[in-house]
Amino acid sequence: MTEESNQLMKFHGVYSQTTATCATSAEEKAKKSVHLHGPRPRPGRSLHDQQWLTLDALADSHGNGTLKITNRQAFQLHGILKGKLRPAVKEINRALLDTIAAAATSTGT
């Protein structure tokens, strides 16, 4: 993904991840590298119980089962493959949550 595309994704509240970060050598990274995405849904003023249940279900059905609360008043879903990203964001929006500007847009964050 180009840096420009990465910045655009961040503006829309989605950051990119890779499984290669755990590999020790460049060869292992090339073999194990899978590009994943992590949308950051955020509530308005408060999170309703059904919204929490939706995020919890999305973490299991579209990601790697991880749902984190951030210090930026958002949540992070982890390990979502490109093919599951669009349906996940649609579910987030259906739950009356959004991801716009929920990920930092400066380089290195």
Q: Specify the range with the lowest mean pLDDT, choosing from 68-72, 95-99, 103-107.
A: 103-107
Whether 72 maps to a domain, the answer reads: yes
Summarised one tens digit per residue, pLDDT across range 34-60 is 678 788 888 877 889 999 999 999 999
Q: Domain range for residue 70? A: 3-94
Total count of domains within the chain: 1
Instruction: Say what the pLDDT of residue 31 is.
Output: 52
Distances (CA, A) of 107 to 3, 7, 37, 39, 72: 9, 8, 17, 17, 17
The CATH number of residue 89's host domain is 3.30.70.3340
The answer to whether residue 31 is domain-embedded is yes
Does the residue 101 lie in any domain?
A: no
Give the range with max mean pLDDT: 2-11, 26-35, 73-82: 73-82
pTM for this predicted structure:
0.70
Beta bridge partners of residue 35, listed in sequence order: 18
Task: State residue 14's pLDDT score.
Answer: 74
In a domain, 21, yes or no: yes
As a whole number of angstroms, the distance between CA 93 and CA 109 comes to: 24
Mean pLDDT of the chain: 77
**Residue 7, domain member (yes or no):** yes
Six token digits for residue 51: 């919204």
Whether 108 maps to a domain, the answer reads no
